[in-house]
Structure 1
């Protein structure tokens, strides 16, 4: 890997455990194209503390403030990235040996602004784990046939964005928390090229307790609801709690249609269905409450992720503008 300019920056948003991070890093170190990439791990310092062991040697470690979720961890990792293309993943994943090379190939075309990769389940037989997978990643299962047109979404644990060479920086990458839906929406509005990197496969391996699974879905729904509240008038937000049944129905309908279209894992879907319904209900209640309560208090970004000389300055919004003179933490482990 060139010390000055890696071809790729891989940002691992770590929210599980140190053991999970080490497993993900070992998978990345086995990559054929590792010499062309830099590895950055952003983790809540109250939950995950690095050790000077072999898997972590040389990894750029960002110690995040307690309570940081995945969108915030992406932000802090991006502040440290030096590659012209940034891949966002999580410590819930393992990868085939050519994963990095496939991502580099996906951006050989200079017009490509972003890409999403497929996600395959590899986490065992527990119904709760399958329920989480279906709720989060069913639409990113490897497709049997290539769909026409750009992808409709970006996989949260397996997507990439070009961060240099664009005329105008993305506001979605300048915020204190980076949401893949925001990135996708802004690029679509600009008419930018978004593609599927069909061979850049991530294998989802994380295991969950029932309490973790329900808590995560409620929290994710709450955060998304607060994000939606910015798009609507206050009178509509005030009665948004009534939307929970409609949100539940729409999500279940989309998920069921996806599994039918995929023609894969139907038996797993049926056996985990009671837990799927519980997770969808947790999300729906969270989203309705978040929509009703309105946007969360602003958090500040570290340098807006645009403090490198080779990156076009991205616009900062008032609610995400960083304090003067503030820089992100970076440790080499």
Structure 2
């Protein structure tokens, strides 16, 4: 996309595998990090087995900093999964980078241990990546944890920008248009990225920019949807918001800019209200649901802003290794 706008067209379905041999089509990287709803990874693995058509071979590469009874069950019942034990406190980007080093598939997909893929997930990725102009393809994130107002509020805070409500936004998207936990690319392309950056930064800030550095497009396909199924206790979500924003502010900025950032961080609260409110406006029903969560959103945004203040003023500390 250097200087000219690319037009990317896709076929709707692939009916047979384009590759043969022992190399899997996909390596699916899923860090095991969740401290609540730990069993959701089993639903993720079951959903991968139920992919439409079952025409794609895959391996699930699971860097694991939990090593618990769920890990033991995966070893016993899911032969397609390979667990890689990593120390407690290993940051998610470093876990993903280790998994990438162990991956054997032609394509690499990334998701989380509590995000359940739709039945057409792998096929949507395969269709898009048959086009050489597409550097990476992703899909929307929908909410599968909506029992309580808190469930809806945490989802809106974290994933509203990637909800894809109303079917809009499908096609070529700008940087920032794909979720870092629901995308797929060619392993050969991602392996060219700086491993130090991959291991130390959020992949939406390292992997996706590296993939598009040579002019490739980011593509959004609504068939590549995942359902976010994790229910956060309030205290855990507030702490995670703080850790994420502290890591983000502490890692991304020079010292001089961090000082300015710390001073301006309180402005994040009204800015986020406007940004998320605008994102919800695409659907009247969604906007009303988001509006009902605004009191909780203000609490989340306060933790978000405080994390930016601390990260900008004092650096990331160990925040990156405590994010789940």
| TM-score normalized with structure 1 length | 0.79
2:278 aligns with one of 246, 250, 257? 257
Label 1:214 to 1:47 Cα distance change in 2 as closer, same or farther (>3 A).
farther
Unaligned runs of 5+ in 2: 1-18
1:112·1:162 contact (CA, 8 Å) conserved in 2? no
Tell me, yes or no, if the aligned pair for 1:13 and 1:88 is still in contact at 8 Å.
no
1:18–1:48 Cα contact (<8 Å) kept:
no
In structure 1, C-alpha distance between the alignment counterparts of 2:20 and 2:317, rounded to whole Å: 40
Q: Quick one: structure 1 residues 183 and 90, their matched pair in 2 at CA, closer, same or farther if it must change by over 3 Å?
A: same
Distance 1:142 1:238, change over 3 A: closer
Q: 1:56 to 1:173 in 2, by over 3 A?
A: farther
Higher mean C-alpha displacement, 16-25 vs 145-154: 145-154
Q: Note the C-alpha offset of 1:189.
A: 4.6
Shift in Å at residue 285 of structure 1? 1.1
Q: Is 2:101 the partner of 1:79?
A: yes
> How do 1:220-259 and structure 2 match up within 5 A?
220-229=244-253, 232=254, 234-259=255-280
- d(CA) in 1 for partners of 2:198, 2:240: 22
1:176 corresponds, among 178, 191, 199, to 199
Instruction: Give a deviation string over 1:313-332, Cα, whole Å, max 9, x none.
Output: xxxxxxxxxxxxxxxxxxxx
Pairing partner for 1:218 from 242, 258, 267: 242
Query: What residue is the counterpart of 1:201 in the other structure?
Result: 225
Question: Does the Cα contact within 8 Å between 1:22 and 1:55 map onto a contact in 2?
Answer: no
Change (3 A) 1:279 1:48: farther
> Tell me, which stretches of 5 or more residues in structure 1 are unaligned?
300-333
Q: Is the 8 A contact 1:172 1:186 kept in 2?
A: no
**Partner residue, 2:62:** 41
2:141 is matched with: 119
Q: Decide whether the 8 Å contact of 2:197 with 2:206 is kept in 1.
A: no
Q: Retained in 2: the 8 A contact 1:10–1:37? A: yes
Counterparts of 1:91-102 in structure 2, within 5 Å, are: 91-102=113-124
- Tell me how far 1:34 sits from its aligned partner: 6.3
Which of 13, 27, 33 is the equivalent residue of 1:9?
A: 27
Is residue 287 from structure 1 mapped to residue 311 from structure 2 by the alignment? no
Distance 1:291 1:87 in 2: 32
Measured in 2, the distance between the counterparts of 1:141 and 1:196 equals 11
* 2:50 alignment counterpart: 30
Task: Count how many residue pairs are aligned between Structure 1 and Structure 2.
Answer: 294
